Amino acid sequence: MTAPAPAIHVLTGPTAVGKTETALRWAEQHDAEIISCDSVCVYRGMDIGSAKPTAEEQRRVRHHGLDLVDPSERYSVSQYVDMARAAIAGAHARGKRVLVTGGSGFYLAAFFGPVTDELEIPSAIAEEVRTLHRQGLASLLLRLRELEGPKLPDWLDLQNPIRVAKALERRLASGRSLDSLRDEFLTRRGPFADHPVTFELLERPDAELKDRIAARTELMLTQGIIEEAERLLAMGLDPELTSSRAVGYRAVMDWLEGGKRVARSGLAERINLDTWALVRKQRKWFRRLGLAKDGE
């Protein structure tokens, strides 16, 4: 008789809500290991701006999913799933429970349904889409509308260049409509469908969360996010990479490239605004995954 798949507990919530300390306490109380669900924490050297668990926090509880690749490398959701599967198997073998914590929507979605398909993208199509991506979101949308028509699906995030680029790749490679591809995709089993998955969503009132974001921004500026951003700029990163677009880092890199013409207080305000935009996106993911209701 096959043993049941290990249970997974997911602790999520918007950035700055307090997931790290809550996760540490839960893991200590339940003898668990933590799997990070953060698309920036996978990058080595991006510590301050990602609010990555400190060395002391990592000594308290064993963590997985941190410092996996250099900022110049791509890291896909398929790689994330493979890492999480291995981490879950290892924790289970050690007699530990598993806690997934973080707020990156696409990674989070892997624990609640399908996130990848088997469609192969020919290199010529991938290069065509990369070229359009470099030209900007408007070029991607124009090409996609040539194939789909003027009305694009409501479920596609038209403000997200990466989502639009992925949709265009699949539209070109398959010759099928986006709705048809999505309908087929939704019939697939998720990578963790055999695991019992429970979840807890942390939230705070908007005013309180904004205060916490502002305090965290000031702490990051004090602790060294500017120096981290300088190292990223020196790498000459591809602007399509997640590391190039990460909230906080992108604002600091723009500030540095602009000759620091804006005062430090203006930089802090830009980071706060970008972080609040991220919170709104995260909350949309939580509703889409059924972790929160509309209006929450």
Domain chopping of the chain, boundaries? 8-115+190-201, 123-185, 206-288
The dihedral over CA atoms of 30, 31, 35, 36, expressed in degrees to the nearest 10, equals 70
CATH of domain 8-115+190-201: 3.40.50.300
* Confidence check: pLDDT of 292 > 70: yes
Assign 28 a pLDDT band (cuts: 50, 70, 90). very high
**What is d(CA 89, CA 92) in angstroms, rounded to the nearest whole number?**
5
List Cβ neighbours of 283 (8 Å cut-off, separation of 6 or more). Answer: 14, 292, 296
Residues 122-128, mean pLDDT to the nearest whole number: 93
**pLDDT value of position 181:** 92
Q: Angle at the Cα of 278 (from 111 to 149), degrees rounded to 5? A: 80
pLDDT at residue 3 tops 90: no
**pLDDT, position 1:** 53
Here the tokens at position 200 are 């807890």
pLDDT reported for residue 295: 59
Q: Give per-residue pLDDT as tens, 152-177.
A: 998 898 988 888 999 999 999 999 99
Determine the pLDDT at residue 185.
86
Given this model, what pLDDT does residue 296 score? Answer: 59
**Assessment of whether the complete model's pTM goes beyond 0.95:** no
pLDDT classification of 4: cutoffs 50, 70, 90:
confident
pLDDT higher for 119 or 147?
147
165: CB partners within 8 A, 6+ apart: 129, 130, 132, 133, 140
Does 2 have pLDDT greater than 70?
A: no
Distance in angstroms (rounded) separating the CA atoms of residues 23 and 215: 20
pLDDT of residue 33: 98
CATH 2.60.260.40 for the 206-288 domain, yes or no: no
